[in-house]
Each structure stands twice: as C-alpha cells, then as structure tokens.
Amino acid sequence: MKTSLLRSLMLLMALGLVFGASSCKMTTPNDPTVNNLPTDPGDPSMDGGTPVRDDDATDDQSTPGEIDPYSARLGVIPKSLGSMTIPTSNPLTQAKVELGRHLFYDKRMSTTRQVSCGSCHEPSKGFADNVSVSPGISGRMGNLNAMSLVNLGHYEDYGWNGRFKSLEEHAPGPIFNTVELGFGRDPNFVEYYGDPDSDTVILFRNLGEEPKYPKLFKDAFGTETITINRIAQAIASFERTFVSNTSAFDDFNNGVKRALSVSAVRGYKLFINPTKTNCISCHSGANFTDNKFHNNGLSVSTKNKGRAELTGNSADIGKFRTASLRNAGVTWPYMHDGSITGATPTAALEEVIRRYRAGGDGRMNQDERIKPLNLTDQDVADLAAFIHSLTDTKFMSNPALQNPF
C-alpha cells in the first residue's frame, strides 16, 4: 500500500516536472502571450495582469505581485469535493460495489443483450461517449447526450433536468427505458420478449444465466435473490465510487504549480474572473457545477424543454443542470443535445467557448450572465487548456471501475 502510494507520488512529481518543463519552453519574459492576461484594475480579484510564471523549476516561491490562486478573494475552486451523502438505507459496502460493477457492464441488462450501461458510459470517455445522441437497443435514439458520470455522490438531482432525486431512484430508469436498455413493455418491440412474462421476470432470467451472480448477490445482500431494489442499490453503490479528483488541475490546486501549463493557468484565471468570463458563477465548487439549472443559450435542439418538463413552468424552458467540467475534455460533443461538435475535441471545446464569447443566441430564458465577452482567440485557447487540465486519466483508467467481464 505504502509503496504504491509512494510510486504514485513519484509519478505525480514526474508529471509535474514534464508539465513544468513544457511551460518553461513556452514562456520567456518577453513572450507576448504571457502579457495577454486579464487586466482590469477595477476588479479587486485580479492582480493587474502579472502572470504566474515558473521559469525556475527549482523555485516554488511566489514572485511579488503574483496572484495567489489559492486565496479566498479569488473565489477559487475548493481543494476537496467535501463529503458525499450516502443514504442510511443503502450503506456502501465493497460487495455491493462489486455487484454493481458487474451489472453496469453486463449486456444481459438489455432486452437485446447488446447494450449495457457501459455502452453509453465508457470509462475512457469520462463515462460518456463521443456521439451527440447515443444509440440504445437496436440503434434506437433518444434526444439527449449521454451525461458524463463523475463524482456522482455529490449531486442532489440526476439527469439533465434533474428529475431523479437519488442514484437508487435513477438506476431503474435506463433499464425500463424503451430506448436505452429496452425493458418497459414497448408494444412495438414485443419481438424481444417472445413471451408474456413481465419485464422483470425476463431481466432476472437474463441475469440468471451468469454464474457469478448468485455469489455476488449473496455477498452483497445475504441471499441470492435478485430484486430490482437490490440491482438499484448495487449500481448506486458502484456509482458512488466514481470519484475524480486527481487531474492535473487538482495537483495544481494542491500546490504543485507545475502541474499546469502556462496557458492553462491563464485560462484558469480567466475562468474565475467575474468580469472577464464569470464561468465560475455557474461552474462553481470542486465539481465545477453549482448543481442548479440554467439556460445558457448555447444548445440547438428544442426537443427537450429541460427543467420545464418537470415543473411545467415556462420560465424553466431550456434550463439544464450546469454540466460538471471535470473530464469535459474527453466528453465532446457538448450540451444536453450534443449539438456543439468540432473536427477535434479541442476544436469542439473552443467552439463552446467562442459561443459563450458571442453571448449565446439570446433566446427566451437565457441567463443574464451569458453576454458577449471580450476575449481574444488566445484567451479562448487558454480557457480550453484549463478545461483540458481537468481530464483525470487516473480516474478513467482506475482498474476498480473497469468492465469485469
């Protein structure tokens, strides 16, 4: 245990050095891009444009006038995600997590036996995928972009419009969704049932074909019996282990300054600057979301009314939960409808930022904070570099989260 901790520490330091070295290469005192920092003397949260620069890899001292990215006055990102609430009715145990992991990746969970939760939520893609709308059983399409799954224990509402109140409540959703995993008695889809049994009977029979389950269910719940409630509790337990806080930005936030490129540090400063971008007013906290619902005026499709589908309130049309930006570098296309795409992931990300720069499309209910921004193309690239620094490859490649089959 200790050795592996030490090893990852050393890896972290090595990474820091690599990033640090590359940032040194990009930065000379006369580098014009360095001076292209936000300067707003009227803004007390800014430092008047003094760049964070680490030319000397051995010197970790702050230079005079340099902003302290950790100081509270900047409204910076908390270092810790805080604690998650685990329902007393579903205590987190390793046995439940292990069962949940199997169910998450098991294609027997779909009527066609060709789709699993993991088909749309792939680990290497931030537990999302790279299509605008993911096909479910037999290529059926819904109208929403698969959400990335990250730090799931830290939300209060699930889904783009927040219609599920807990992970336990959410898990049966995709199973009994006629597009996603296909159970749910779609009259147009009877060929996959082939008999009059109820959906749950067929689902349990599918799962009964996997010899590992009797032991997995027994270890998790004391008996081998399969119930929907147990499936939901096990999947929810597995999902609570999706903790991502080991990105380059987290290292930076924990004091390893060289974990970020100079461009990403500039992007970070823009991101938290209330007058330059105000991104942080919605993408706030350690998970880069305020967990609230807003209309950012950037998506295209009107097929989904967002929060209004739940509240019936026209003032909620087009409001979706602020997307966490953790791992957003690998979850393109963007927005709830996957409408913002690009030739490359970075191009897609920059396209999002350019549309924010343009001030959104000015639609009904667009949040008043979305307005034209005075950003250069370099600023756009810097913001994208910052968002890329939130990609947590350690999280995505964590062996405990991979397909056990």
Gap between the Cα atoms of 71 and 91, Å rounded? 37
**DSSP assignments along 299-365, one per residue:** ----S--BTHHHH--GGGTTBEEPPP-TTGGGS-SBSTT--B--SSHHHHHHHHHHHHHHT----TT
Decide whether 252 or 334 has the Cβ nearer to ligand HEC: 334
Q: Which of 297, 279, 181, 186 is nearest to 235 (CA)?
A: 181
Decide whether 115 or 220 has the Cβ nearer to ligand HEC: 115
Show the tokens assigned to 356.
């924010």
Q: Closest separation between CB of residue 104 and ligand HEC, Å?
A: 6
Q: Closest separation between CB of residue 303 and ligand HEC, Å?
A: 12
Decide whether 205 or 303 has the Cβ nearer to ligand HEC: 303
Decide whether 62 or 374 has the Cβ nearer to ligand HEC: 374
Cβ(169)–Cβ(100) below 8 Å: no
Cβ(207)–Cβ(213) below 8 Å: yes
Q: Closest separation between CB of residue 143 and ligand HEC, Å?
A: 8
Decide whether 20 or 155 has the Cβ nearer to ligand HEC: 155
- In the complex, the residues that contact ligand HEC under the rule CB under 6 A are 104, 115, 117, 119-121, 134, 136, 142, 144, 146-149, 152, 155, 158-160, 170-171, 174-175, 180-181, 235, 239, 277-279, 281-283, 294, 296, 299, 320, 322-323, 325, 328, 331, 334-336, 352-353, 356, 367, 369-370, 383, 387
- The count of C-alpha atoms lying within 13 angstroms of the C-alpha of 136, restricted to the half-sphere facing its C-beta, is 21
Residue 126: which residues within 8 A CB-CB, separation 6 or more? 148, 149, 150, 326, 327, 328, 330, 331, 391, 396
Decide whether 31 or 361 has the Cβ nearer to ligand HEC: 361
Q: Closest separation between CB of residue 335 and ligand HEC, Å?
A: 4
Q: Closest separation between CB of residue 66 and ligand HEC, Å?
A: 23
Total number of residues shown for the chain:
405
| Angle subtended by helix axes 377-388 and 262-272, to nearest 10 | 100
